[in-house]
Amino acid sequence: MEYIRGAKEQGCIFCKYPAEDVSKHRERLLLCKRREAFVMLNRYPFASAHVMVIPDRHVSDLSELSRDEHAALFELVRDACGVLQKAVNAEGLNVGLNLGAAAGAGIAEHLHVHIVPRWRGDLNFMPVIADVRVMPEALDATWARLEPLFRPLGEPAAP
C-alpha cells in the first residue's frame, strides 16, 4: 500500500536505476547488472531478500523480448535463485511474474520476475489482520549482505 499510495518517481525506475553510476547501486538496491538484465531487491518485499530480475529493455510482456533477451533474463533468474537459496538458507523459492496491472504488477509497463525466498512455517497472520509485513532485517542490511554474493553474477559495465 505504501507504493500504491505514495508519490511516484517520474519515468521508469527499471530503466533509470541501472543506467545510473555504480555509486548509486546501494541506494537503488541493485545487486548485480548484466548486459541485458539486472537484479535488485524489492523495496516493498513479501519476505526478506525478495529480489526482482529485470530485463534492460522497457517491455511489458514476455512476447516482446527477443530470444536472446529472454534467454539472458531467465539465465539470470536461474543464477539468482542459486545465490539466493544459499545466501539466506531458503527452503524454497517462489518465482513468478505479474503480467499487467490486473495481475498485480506494481510497475506493469516494465516486465520483472520476482524471486521470494520461503521457509517452512514462514506464513504468518500479520498481512491478513493488520496489513503489515514483518521483516527481520532492514533493506540496507540485506543489500550489504547479499551484494557481495551477487556481484560475481554481474558483468562489467560497457565503457
The sign of the torsion formed by the CA atoms of 143, 148, 153, 156 equals positive
Q: Which of 25, 50, 58, 112 is catalytic?
A: 112
Q: Write out the DSSP string of 108-127.
A: TTS--EEEEEE-TT---SHH
- Torsion-angle region of 143 (φ positive above 0: left; ψ -120 to 50: alpha; else: beta): alpha
Tell me, what amino acid is at 102? A
112 catalytic residue (yes or no): yes
- B/e letters for 46-65, b = 16+ CB within 10 Å, e = fewer, are ebbbbbbbbbbbeeeeeeeb
The sign of the torsion formed by the CA atoms of 74, 80, 84, 86 equals positive
Residues classed as catalytic: 112
